[in-house]
């Protein structure tokens, strides 16, 4: 999960933009560091290895953009945390919200599918966000904090 503070993304944020990238898997975090280096933006990105939900719940500052791509079962919990930590006008972006179309199943059986369906329902009903789903690749939810 990426938490972006003070600006939007590493390049457009300029020198003052700051990105916090969290990954529970140290090997994936290491690979990500390699990509950040190759893209020339490593100095703007703080890599944190650990649980993103725990990390976010410990934060006190507000973020401009929060990108969510954690294990899908945690999506509803992420939504509750994000509301408090995103500034007004900030963006909350979430990957995989169509889950290869499984979100349209009448009675989803997988825990991951059930959690994404619940997340989509909570997000669209939330009084805190204007939201939409872009049908790009596996579905991206984009929500603007009111």
Q: Applying CB under 6 A, which residues contact ligand SAM?
A: 1, 22-25, 28, 51-53, 69-71, 74, 95-96, 138
Closer residue to ligand SAM in complex, CB, 54/146: 54
Task: Give the nearest distance from C-beta 54 to ligand SAM in angstroms.
Answer: 8
Any idea what DSSP says for residue 73? Answer: G
Q: Give the per-residue SS3 of 121-146.
A: HHHHHCCCEEEEEECCCCCEEEEEEC
In three-state secondary structure terms, 16 is helix
Q: For residues 60 and 104, give the distance between their C-alpha atoms in angstroms, rounded to a whole number.
A: 37
**Choice between 62 and 73, CB closer to ligand SAM:** 73
Give the E-state strand segments of the chain in sequence order: 2-5, 18-23, 45-49, 63-68, 86-95, 129-134, 140-145
Going by C-alpha positions, the residue among 43, 68, 72, 73 that lies closest to residue 56 is 68
CB of 67 to ligand SAM, least distance (A): 10
| Least gap, CB of 35 to ligand SAM (angstroms) | 12
Closest CB to ligand SAM among residues 64, 74: 74
Smallest distance from the beta carbon of 25 to ligand SAM, in angstroms? 4
**6/48 with CB nearer ligand SAM:** 48
């Amino acid at each position: 999960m990426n938490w972006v503070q003070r600006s939007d993304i590493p390049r457009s944020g300029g020198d003052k933009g700051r990105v916090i990238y969290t990954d529970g898997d140290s090997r994936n975090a290491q690979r990500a560091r390699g990509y950040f280096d190759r893209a020339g933006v490593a100095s703007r990105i703080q890599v944190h290895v650990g649980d993103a939900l725990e990390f976010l719940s410990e934060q006190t500052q507000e973020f401009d953009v929060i990108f969510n791509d954690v294990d899908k079962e945690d999506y509803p919990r992420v939504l509750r945390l994000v509301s408090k930590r995103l500034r007004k006008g900030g963006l909350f972006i979430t990957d995989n919200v169509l889950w290869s179309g499984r979100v349209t199943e009448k009675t989803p059986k997988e825990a991951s599918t059930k959690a994404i369906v619940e997340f989509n329902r909570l997000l669209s009903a939330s009084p805190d966000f204007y939201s939409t789903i872009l049908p790009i690749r596996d579905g991206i939810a984009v929500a603007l904090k009111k």
